[in-house]
Structure 1
Amino acid sequence: MSAASPAALPLSPGRRAAKLFFRTPSGVAGLVLVVLIIACALLAAYISPYDPVQYLPADRMQGPSVRHWLGTDLYGRDLLSRVIYGSRISLSVSVLSVSLALAVGGLLGALSGYYLGWVDTLIMRLTDVLLAFPAILLAIALLAFLGGGFWNLTVAIAVAYTAPFARVVRAAVLRSRSAMFVEASNALGASDRRLLWRHVLPNSAGPVLVEITLRLAYAILGEAALSFLGLGTQPPAPAWGQMIADGRPFLETNAWISIAPGLAIMLTVLGFNLLGDALRDALDPRLAR
């Protein structure tokens, strides 16, 4: 019997998920938006036409023009440059806070879902306490105690999102720990550490990856809201939320001051949401079948 042709061979789970993802127009659009925002953040020093904190009194409160594509603010600072540099702050805060929340919440969720018993009860009651508070109110309370600033903002958002990560990782570990290959490895004498880190957690990565993309979007919204309230990165740093707050007194006459950073927030959050939805569909085994 002749060997099966390459086209007839079944696709690996990774290639199947990638094929499903790139068949989703909204997912590709979200990926493009996210890549563009990341590129703007990384290349801000090269593509920004002006210094984002440079005061130009002669150009204050100008509308969009050839010289200033998005106009200028009350102090004559170029809004396009500030929006571009603002992507650095938003992405840095969101990535760092979500990474910290994933590290702490993921560890707690993995221990809870794998060992069960009193460990599970203790960790889940702790997450219940954190989930009893709306994320934004919990972050505001922490910042009222810690004070504003980049790092305090990052820690506050991370604490607010630790409990959701613990819940997601716990649910994923509960599904994986009863799989046949885990039971077989356990029967062969594999240690708990090896079972957890080499078998259970890698096979729980799908739901966690989707949660990461969605939490990044929430973190960007949280950073913008806290900066709008004056609890985030302090002026003259070009934070998107702070820029919206600066333009609030001029909404009737010079709305572009708030519209420009508002559009940046909308497009960034939309990109991460579309990306997360497409990843969820691509990694769903029911759709794969």
Structure 2
Amino acid sequence: MRHRVIALLWRAGLAAALVCGIGLLPWLSRTDPALTVLKARSADRDPTSEVLAAIRSQLGLADGPLALLGRWVGGLWRGDAGRSWISGTEVTPAVLQALGASLLLMAVALAVAVVTAGLVCAPTLNRQGRRGRSAGGGSAVLAALPEFLTASILATVVGVQLGWLPALGWYGPQWTVLPALALGLPAGAVLGRLLDDLLPSAFAEPWALAAAARGLPNRRIAQQAVRRCLPGLLPNVGLFVVGITGGSVAVEQIFDIPGLGRTTLQAALAQDLPVLQAGTLLLLLLAAASTAAARLATRLLIGPALRDGTLPSLHRPTPPARTVQPFLYGGVLLGVVALGLPRDPLALDTGQRLRSPSWTHPFGTDALGRDVLARVAHGALDTLLLALAIGTVTLLVGVLLGLVPRLSGPLVDTVNAVPPVLGALLVTAVAGSGAGTPALAVGAVAWAPLATHTSALLRQERAALHVTATRGLGADRRYLLRHELLPAVLPSVTRHALLRLPGIALALASLAFLGLGAQPPTPEWGLLLAENQPYAERAPWAVLAPATALALLGALAVSAAGGVRWPRRRRAAVAVVEQPARARELVGAE
């Protein structure tokens, strides 16, 4: 009970710190809120001292940020989140309406993600965990597709050209299909790969072997195997719920959806503090609710086994998969970089604007006549190296914080409630704009899924029979962590980190697409997509080239993740013969 009270207080303190930090955003960014509000209300009006003073008096800015924050918190007890600084309307109805749109979109996107994850895992489920052909390449392409690019293609082709579904607006359930596909396909591909990573070990457990020997239907065994693996994935599903709700800013802008992510971003850009704080508070509450639901579902699935320490281990040491796919994808990506590096990515030739691929320009040219191959190759150095550096740091941070779930759990919920775009604005306000701002913003939130995955796997592994037996023989915590827990957790989390590598590159690309990342003429892949997206119909090669490079990165990450294994160590029987002193110490013989 004491630990739960401490965790609740820790969670409430982090949420309060985040809301207060957002409340101080205009003052942290060293800008005049009155000037920002004036530009948002009437950009053509002169910012005279009298006009600015009138705005400060109207909004109560003269009292200072702490007084503003106190009045806002005091109104929450009455259900009053204040009035918008820009429109003057009440904040609560507008934010709740935006939350309703986002929740509907999130529900449909999750349904798409579940179907996609099922298709990714279908080969493993049909083979009952046996080795064979995998859907890794297809899932890698889906996971690496930029959401804003997928949304643009769906809106242009399916919505406008074919007219099958509405592309713009938000007037009913049918308007949710295209944006839900753009959000659900990448999320489902990642979830499917995580589930596919655990299924072979579930099918190798004694209950599955006994069920197969007794002739139970394969479909029933597959259902139980999925149920067995779900507790390790439910925390990440909760993260996807919040991420889809608050982080789908680019998709909401493309389809003109009045969702919570778009509303929060617009409020942050306009420094409309009442709307920004209310939207952030709702995201925090949604993160807490999704985390509580994930924990409740985990307890319902395997609660008694977790309590009694009788859970079978999903860790099954296997040799790495022998495949040439990583070398194939890596070779193609390296070849593109090698061919494009000798070319000048900044050379302009207006006479060669939007030319189709040719021997002179294998990937065509962009709207300024620049060689697309050169820009993709030079942008690969920035994109790949930065994504790899961020991925390595987030893996280390995620594993270390995942080892202390009582500390990291509330921190994960708070961090995950902040969309990357809003995180970029907060980092920019505190640290200023610069080349490292997108990296800091993405790195500040990218460790959360890895920490959640580590904690979930550790919780199950600590309840495994072999860990319970080793603890009964007298092994201390350090020995258990080094020889039992880390070998069972690190391979899966490392593979997860590799799966997230294209996502990190996509997050950087999304910031560039929204104008918060790299700036022209930098040939960063996200910026290339943003620059060439308006010409997608006339010059599709200018968009497909960086998108294909991102897809190759995803396929390389997924195929390389299949070869990550913990070094095989000798079994306990061999250790007893070769290290009798240590063995006697464990069994208490000395």
TM exceeding 0.5: yes
Q: 1:91 aligns with which of 384, 388, 393?
A: 384
Q: CA deviation at 1:172?
A: 0.9
The aligned amino acid for 1:215 is R
1:7-32 per-position Cα deviation (integer Å, ceiling 9, x unaligned): xxxxxxxxxxxxx7962243367586
Residues 170-179 or 232-241, more deviating: 232-241
Q: Residue type matched to 1:27 in 2?
A: G
Residue of structure 2 equivalent to 1:70: 363
Q: 1:47 matched to which residue of 2?
A: 339
> How far off is 1:126 after superposition?
1.5
- Contact kept, 8 Å, 1:41 with 1:84, in 2: the verdict is no
Give the drift of 1:252: 4.9
> Contact conserved, 2:512 with 2:526, CA < 8 A, in 1?
yes
Distance in 1 separating the partners of 2:130 and 2:523: 34
Q: 1:86: how far off? A: 2.5
Q: 2:478 is matched by which residue type in structure 1?
A: R
Query: Following the alignment from structure 2 to structure 1, what is the Cα–Cα distance between the partners of residues 521 and 325?
Result: 27
- Corresponding position of 2:523: 238
Query: CA, structure 1 residues 147+35, in 2 after alignment: closer, same or farther (shift >3 Å)?
Result: farther
User: Distance in 1 between the 2:130 and 2:430 partners?
Assistant: 43
How far did 1:212 drift? 1.5
- Find the aligned partners of 1:216 and 1:111 in 2 and give their Cα distance: 24
Aligned to 1:107: 400
2:453 to 165, 168, 172: 168
Which amino acid letter does the alignment assign opposite residue 23 of structure 1? Answer: G
Paired amino acid for 1:100: V
CA shift for structure 1 position 200:
0.7
Give 1:158 deviation, angstroms: 1.8
Task: Specify the alignment match of 1:82 in structure 2.
Answer: 375
Identify unmatched segments of 5+ residues in structure 1. Answer: 1-19, 113-119, 283-289
Query: Structure 1-normalised TM-score?
Result: 0.71
Q: Deviations over 1:188-226 (max 9, x none)?
A: 544423322332111113431342133113212111111
1:168-188 Cα distance to aligned partner (Å, 9 max, x none): 100111122233443444345
> Once the 2 structures are TM-superposed, how far is the Cα of residue 242 of structure 1 from its aligned partner?
0.7
Alignment-mate amino acid for residue 46 of structure 1: A
Q: Deviations over 1:48-107 (max 9, x none)?
A: 264242414266313211110111224432111222332333222222222211211211
Change beyond 3 A, Cα 1:227–1:128: same
Number of aligned residues: 254
Q: Which residue of 2 aligns with 1:23?
A: 132
Considering only aligned residues, what root-mean-square deviation do their CA atoms show, in Å?
A: 3.5
Range with bigger deviation, 101-110 or 189-198 = 189-198
- Greater C-alpha radius of gyration: 2
Partner of 2:578: none
Amino acid at match of 2:392: S
Separation in 2, partners of 1:87, 1:38: 13
**Matched AA of 2:394:** A
1:265 aligns with 2:550: yes
Look up the SS of the partner of 1:238 in the other structure: coil
CA distance in 1, matches of 2:324, 2:420: 29
Counterparts of 1:200-219 in structure 2, within 5 Å, are 200-219=485-504
Partner letter of residue 370 of structure 2?
R
2 CA distance for matches of 1:252 and 1:43?
A: 27
Q: Indicate how the Cα distance of structure 1 residues 54 and 160 shifts in structure 2: closer, same or farther if over 3 A, else same.
A: same
> Could you say if the C-alpha distance between residues 43 and 64 of structure 1 is closer, same or farther in structure 2, counting changes exceeding 3 Å?
closer
| Alignment partner of 1:221 out of 487, 491, 506 | 506
Q: Secondary structure at the match of 1:23?
A: coil
Distance in 1, Cα, partners of 2:401 & 2:427: 21
Q: 2:364 touches 2:542 (CA, 8 Å); kept in 1?
A: yes
**Distance between the aligned counterparts of 1:150 and 1:44, measured in 2?**
25
Of the structure 1 ranges 242-251 and 154-163, higher mean CA displacement relative to structure 2 is found in: 242-251
Tell me if 1:131 matches 2:416.
yes
Paired-residue identity, %:
31
Moved more, 175-184 or 165-174: 175-184
Contact 2:345–2:378 (CA<8 Å) still a contact in 1? no
Q: 2:431 — aligned with what?
A: 146
Q: Is the 8 A contact 2:343 2:374 kept in 1?
A: yes
Q: Which runs of 5+ in 2 are unaligned?
A: 1-128, 141-322, 566-590
1:148 Cα deviation after fit: 4.8
AA paired with 1:126?
Answer: L
- In 1: Cα distance, 2:435 partner to 2:333 partner: 16
Aligned residue type for 1:26: A
- Alpha-carbon displacement from aligned partner over 1:133-192 (angstroms, at most 9, x marks no partner): 334543454345434555332232122122211111001111222334434443454442
The aligned residue for residue 467 of structure 2 is: 182
Match of 1:287 in 2: none
CA contact (8 A) 1:223 1:232 kept: yes
Call closer, same or farther: CA 1:197–1:236 in 2, change over 3 Å. farther
Change (3 A) 1:156 1:49: closer
Larger relative contact order (CA 8 Å, sep ≥ 6) = 1
Amino acid at match of 1:212: A
SS at match of 1:201: helix
